[in-house]
Structure 1
Amino acid sequence: MTSPSSQETSNLPHSSTSGGFFANLFSRTQRYSPEEWKELLKSHPYVPPGSGDARSPCPLLNTFANHGISIPRNGRNFTKRQLYELLIIMGVKSMLASLVVTSVFVMYRQPAPNSTWRDSFRSASTLSLDSLGIHGLLEHDVSLTRHDAQIAPYDAVSVVPELVQQMATLAQTSHLNAENIVFDDENYFHHRKSRWLTCIKENPYLHYSFIQQFLSAAEAHLLLHLLGRNDQISLDHMNLFLLDERFPDNWHPIDRPLSGLSAIRTIIRYYRRVRQTNPMLAASKGTES
């Protein structure tokens, strides 16, 4: 018998299949207008995770699971196609989405001890969200909203509300006279640098390599351009995504895919600016309460 979560994720509308790279596996290319997205959320209401449900260090994936869209509500045994569908919904171009999904499923596959070297390049059939909490792969130190994995409380999956509050305080301090307070790219540079400096002091096992810094910049691009827009996100939306891990009622995915070249340029800019940010300013602002 099909589980409720499986029914929800399999009933999403999808467009016709087109040929090309990974066409047989990654055939759904559904994107939603604001009106269509609103109707989809009506049939996929927010339900917080229950006991035994798997969740990841990624607020976006957790949000989709909490609504039962693309990712099953229990966070377990999702497929390549479901993760691809999620990325397409969020505005990632199909080729990049295909490469990301394939890389993730190869990265997290557990080969048998007696397997051949070729098995290292085969992908897992399914993944669960808690697999993404394995330290040192996609999960990394210096998270915006999570503790480092190797220091107490040894939990890099659960959100830390105090860190989200630091982000909100940065935004409020730097936009005192604004009608609508937003968390923007400058706030991001300060908060990430503040977290970096804090983790250097607190985590003797800290590992934050170039690859992880670049991955962090890509995550920020997701926050400020796919969840937010144009280098910023409103505080209301930020709190719902990062604390509750739910879709705001007045939010919808971007209307058309982002340019890959534009995204790379933004990610490189984010990477550089975090490193260039005044550490004293970052440390002082990032620790305000």
Structure 2
Amino acid sequence: MSRMNYCCVLTITLIFIIRSNIGVCSTKHKYSIGRIPDAKHPFRPPGATDVRGPCPGLNTAANHGYINRSGIVGIDEVVKGLTTMYNIGEDLAVILAVTNTFFLGNPETGKFSIGHSSDETGAFMGIIPGGLNEHNTLELDASLTRNDYDLANGDNWSFNGTLYGMMHEVAKETSNGLYTIEAIAAYRRKRYQQSRRDNKKFFFDVRALHSYGAATFLYEVFPSAVDKIPSEEVISSFFGAQRLWDHSGWMHKPERIPYNWYRRLEPYTLDDIIQQAVAMYRIRPVEFGWNIASSGQFFPSPGFLSSDELDGDTAFCLLAESVIALAPTNITAAQNIYIKTHYPLVYQGLAKYSCLQQLAST
């Protein structure tokens, strides 16, 4: 099987899991307030061989040992680590762990890298998986604090202090320095405009909805449960951002949990992140699409919806259908077998979603 077909197979699998879990596993339940970290999870900077990548939340979890400090992690530990540390809903934690393992890691060993490719994940079909750094999979252009792949000689994972400073300024202008949904929506649009203008290979298709979902962590997950304020103190700690001594910019230090921090009271579920991602997008909508490398001219994605037409169900059905259109029909049957075998409750929920009924019947 070619790498391209392999990606199509795994993508459809993940679409199945994402959409079906909304109906099956999104029931909310209360947790007691918890101060994080506990004594078993002290902060420790990454060692010379430890892997870190573009996701501040995973980097922080690794620096405290809620997931493997090496940065090479497995599905079960990621689910446990994210639910324990952040009070991420189990459904969302499973989606994140499974997506990264199957799409960017090694399904046979059940491991993925939170950064660059690593021999420690093992080869799958003769290829060492690319890890979270792999470009144009789940990592797209116009990141909050990371460079575009083609504007930085392939370095799309390192912290960029200039970009963090831009985000900081937008938060000041928009929300008195707080990283609210309005501030992040405004900054996402600013980064989109910057990348689309400067990057001739700019790529931002419907998969960018994943980026909107990740950005919701700044105001939904990172604030302490004590005050729920997405302050500079909190956000800079999770992003590993530190002011230069003369206040002329920002430098990077290892990401860590803020002092006297308490996790969310209620789990942040899959349904929550979908609704929040769409809400953020609708505040400052942009066109999905990409630049033609030879000319830099922008080509909009077919079937682009206006912000008024985009809700959670529509957004993910659009994503599902765009992937299905690229895949041979026999691949959809293989995905049904996989989901039915490994996720029977998820499989039962597929009939609820009209855009996936075609898949469920193949």
Whether TM-score is above 0.5 comes out as yes
Find the aligned partners of 2:286 and 2:197 in 1 and give their Cα distance. Answer: 19
User: Which of these residues, 237, 251, 254, is aligned with residue 264 of structure 2?
Assistant: 254
The 1-side partners of 2:229 and 2:216 are apart by 10
Alpha-carbon distance in structure 2 between the residues aligned to 1:259 and 1:98: 10
In the other structure, the counterpart of 2:82 is: 87
- Equivalent of 2:284 in 270, 274, 279: 274
For structure 1, the residue ranges without an aligned partner over 5 or more in a row are 1-20, 22-30, 111-121, 278-289
Give TM-score scaled by structure 1 length: 0.71
Quote the RMSD (CA, aligned, Å). Answer: 2.7
Alignment of 1:1-289 (within 5 A): 33-35=33-35, 37-38=36-37, 40=38, 42-69=39-66, 71-76=67-72, 78-89=73-84, 90-109=86-105, 122-130=107-115, 131-175=131-175, 181-212=177-208, 214-228=209-223, 233-243=230-240, 244=253, 245-258=255-268, 260-275=270-285
Residue 173 to residue 109, structure 1, CA distance change in 2 (3 Å): closer
- Deviation of 1:100 after TM superposition, in Å, equals 3.3
Whether contact under 8 Å (1:241, 1:247) holds in the other structure is yes
Taking structure 2 as the reference length, the TM-score comes to 0.57
1: distance between equivalents of 2:113 and 2:182? 34
1:102 to 1:240, Cα distance in 2 relative to 1, 3 A: same
Instruction: Give the aligned partner of residue 282 of structure 1.
Output: none
Q: Aligned in 2, Cα 1:250/1:104: closer, same or farther, shift over 3 Å?
A: same
Partner SS state of residue 80, structure 2: helix
Between the aligned partners of 2:152 and 2:228, the Cα distance in structure 1 is 33
SS in 1 for 2:179: strand
Give secondary structure in 2 for the equivalent of 1:132: coil
Change (3 A) 1:173 1:98: closer
Distance 1:166 1:65 in 2: 26
The 8 Å contact of residues 93 and 258 in structure 1, kept in 2 or not, is answered as yes
Q: 2:100·2:132 contact (CA, 8 Å) conserved in 1?
A: no
Structure 1 residue 251: Cα displacement: 1.5
State the SS of the aligned residue for 1:127: strand
Show CA shifts across 1:223-281 (max 9, x none).
2101137996101111111124110012221122135444322211112223169xxxx
Q: Is the 8 A contact 2:51 2:114 kept in 1?
A: yes
The amino acid across from 1:253 in the alignment is: R
CA distance in 1, matches of 2:281, 2:191: 14
TM-aligned CA deviation for residue 132 of structure 1: 0.8
1:1-35 per-residue CA deviation (whole Å, 9 max, x = no partner) reads xxxxxxxxxxxxxxxxxxxx9xxxxxxxxx67334
Asked if structure 1 preserves the Cα contact closer than 8 Å seen for 2:181 and 2:216, the reply is no
Quote how far apart the aligned CAs of 1:46 are. Answer: 2.0
How far has the Cα of 1:95 moved from its partner? 2.9
| Displacement after TM superposition at 1:50 (Å) | 2.6
CA distance in 2, matches of 1:95, 1:199: 33
